[in-house]
Chain A
C-alpha cells in the first residue's frame, strides 16, 4: 500500500534526455569497473549490458554528479568537507567509547527536528549520512525539508539551536558546493 506508486506514475511522464542518459551510463560503468577491476571481454559485455539497464531505470533520479562539480574550487571544498567529516567521526567514536564504558550509561535521548536549506536530494543524503556518523546523533527521517534526528544527549528543543549545534559545519560547505 505504501510502496510509492509515484515512482510508477512518473515513469510515463518523464521526458527522456539522451545526454543525461549517456552521462549516467558512463558513471554506472565506472562503478562497475571499480567493483570488478578486470578487463576481460566477457566481463566487459556483461558490464555494458547491466549498466545500460540500470542507467535506463534510474536516469530520472540521477542528480548526484553534475559535470560542474568537477571544477577545481568544488574539489577543494570536497577535500575540506572530507577533513571536517573525518574529525567529527573520530570525535563521535571517542564519545561512543566513553558512553559505553562508563558503568551507569549517561544517556538522555529524544527526537528533535530542524529545517535544512539544501534543495538537491543527493546533498541531503550526504548531510544525513554525515549527521548519522557525528557525535550522538542519528537521522531517522527526512520529510521534505525537515530532518528528524535522534539525539542521545538532548540539550535544547529549539530547532534553530539544534541546527546550529548539529548541522551547521557540514551544511555551510555543502551549500557552497550545491548552490
Chain B
C-alpha cells in the first residue's frame, strides 16, 4: 500500500511547485508572504509523511519546530509589511 503514499507525495510536490510559482510571480510583497505561509504548511505535511516513509521519529520533532518557526516568521513579516516594526 505504499503506492498511496507516493501519490500523496507527488500531489504535495505539485502543490509546493504551484505556490512557488506564486512566490516568484506575486505582484506585491504580501502575495509572496502568503505563498510562503502556504509553502510552510505544505512542507510540514511533507515532512511528516517522509518521517512515516523512513520510519524515523525525529522527523516529527522537526515538523513541530518548523511549524513554530514558520508561524513566528509570518507574524514578523506581517508586522514589517504594516510598517509597525
* CB-based contact A2/B84 at 8 Å: yes
**In chain A, residues 1-35, which have Cβ atoms closer than 8 Å to a Cβ of chain B?**
1-3, 35
* Majority secondary structure of chain B interface residues (helix, strand, loop or mixed): loop
Bound: A35/B85 CA distance, A: 29
* CB-based contact A3/B64 at 8 Å: no
Bound: A3/B80 CA distance, A: 11
Task: Determine the interface band of chain B, counting residues with CB < 8 A from chain A.
Answer: under 10
**In chain B, residues 36-75, which have Cβ atoms closer than 8 Å to a Cβ of chain A?**
64
- Chain A residues within an 8 Å CB radius of B83: 2
- Chain A residues within an 8 Å CB radius of B82: 2
- Chain A residues within an 8 Å CB radius of B84: 1-3
Bound: A167/B14 CA distance, A: 35
Residue of A nearest to B84 (CB): A2
Bound: A2/B84 CA distance, A: 6
- Chain B residues within an 8 Å CB radius of A3: 84-85
- Chain A residues within an 8 Å CB radius of B85: 3
Shortest Cβ distance from residue A63 to the other chain B in the assembled complex, whole angstroms: 21
Residue of B nearest to A35 (CB): B64
Bound: A139/B84 CA distance, A: 20
Residue of B nearest to A1 (CB): B84
Residue of B nearest to A3 (CB): B84
Bound: A1/B83 CA distance, A: 9
- Chain B residues within an 8 Å CB radius of A35: 64
**In chain A, residues 54-96, which have Cβ atoms closer than 8 Å to a Cβ of chain B?**
none
Bound: A174/B73 CA distance, A: 31
Bound: A86/B64 CA distance, A: 23
Shortest Cβ distance from residue B67 to the other chain A in the assembled complex, whole angstroms: 10
Shortest Cβ distance from residue B38 to the other chain A in the assembled complex, whole angstroms: 13
Residue of A nearest to B82 (CB): A2
Shortest Cβ distance from residue B33 to the other chain A in the assembled complex, whole angstroms: 15
Shortest Cβ distance from residue A150 to the other chain B in the assembled complex, whole angstroms: 13
Bound: A2/B64 CA distance, A: 32
Taking Cβ atoms with an 8 Å cutoff, the residues of B that contact A are: 64, 82-85
Among all A-B residue pairs, the 7 with the closest Cβ atoms: A2-B84, A3-B84, A35-B64, A3-B85, A1-B84, A2-B82, A2-B83
